[in-house]
Amino acid sequence: MNIPEDLRYSSDHEWVRRSGSRLTIGITDYAQDALGDVVYLEVPSSGAAVSAGERISEVESTKSVSDIFAPVDGSVVEVNENLGSNPELVNQDPYGAGWICVIDIGSDESGWDALLDADAYRALIVE
């Protein structure tokens, strides 16, 4: 299971990559593996204000339909439009081309600080 050390994670299996106040969000390798082949992914609306724990997206696979939750409070400033015609990118490259959206957290660091590091995420999925 690929769990990059440079990312943070939510307990709902989203990964987060930080660049200043902007956080790129996707689902983890663990989550995409559990889902199976992704056949559809709804991206959130650009410009939407989101709260941590709020449903922002939905992913449909050959096995199930699952919600994707905002791991932090902020505003959606970019979405991965490529997922509309290529949802399989979530399976093929979950930490790269399979990203879902970018959320700007502004100056509020609390959401970032509450996320799990790689070791804590590893411990979560082993349980």
Domains of the chain: which residue ranges? 8-116
Average pLDDT (112-116) is: 94
Burial of residue 8 (number of CB atoms within 10 Å: 0-12, 13-18, 19+): buried
Which band of pLDDT confidence, cut at 50, 70 and 90, is reported for residue 105?
Answer: very high
Which band of pLDDT confidence, cut at 50, 70 and 90, is reported for residue 1?
Answer: confident
Report the pLDDT value the prediction gives residue 109, as an integer from 0 to 100: 86
Give the torsion sign (CA, 34, 28, 38, 88). Answer: negative
Average pLDDT (82-107) is: 95
Report the pLDDT value the prediction gives residue 48, as an integer from 0 to 100: 93
- Give percent above pLDDT 90 in the chain: 89
Q: Is the pLDDT of residue 51 over 90?
A: yes
Report the pLDDT value the prediction gives residue 24, as an integer from 0 to 100: 98
Q: How is residue 78 written in tokens?
A: 């970019």
Q: Is the pLDDT of residue 32 over 90?
A: yes
Fold category of 8-116 in CATH: OB fold (Dihydrolipoamide Acetyltransferase, E2P) (2.40.50)
Instruction: Assess contact for 65 and 57: CB atoms under 8 A.
Output: no
Secondary structure percentages of the chain, helix, strand, coil, to 5 = 25, 35, 45
Q: Is the pLDDT of residue 127 over 90?
A: no
